[in-house]
Amino acid sequence: MRTFVESLSLGSGAILIAVLSAGIVWLLCSVSPAILRTLWVVIVPFTLAYCFYWSPVWLGADPSEYHAWALVVVLPWFLAGAISSAAVVWILHKRGSR
């Protein structure tokens, strides 16, 4: 697992976070009240980006350089997930309005 997460580049990590965020937000929107939909758009991608970024450290990697690069990596991953999650919420909202 550690090798897989360490091998993620900025682009491949963003794609992974975007796909996972969209799927998880879709599932959460299906089972939770509509008022929480906008909350899921922020919480799910940030949690995934944060956990994927720091998981090598949690699995035993040397944490010395991870602090310096955290914002540079977590922010684009979060934005990719937030955009895909917002698209899912928007589609579900439009589909429910009919």
Domain chopping of the chain, boundaries:
10-93
What pLDDT does residue 97 have?
A: 54
pLDDT-derived band at 96 (thresholds 50, 70, 90) equals confident
- Sign of the dihedral through C-alpha 63, 22, 26, 78: positive
What pLDDT does residue 95 have?
A: 86
pTM, entire model: 0.92
The answer to whether residue 2 scores a pLDDT higher than 70 is yes
pLDDT tens, residue by residue, 35-89? 898 999 999 999 999 999 999 999 999 999 999 999 999 999 999 999 999 999 9
Going from the C-alpha of 49 to that of each of 29, 32, 79, the distances in angstroms are: 20, 22, 9
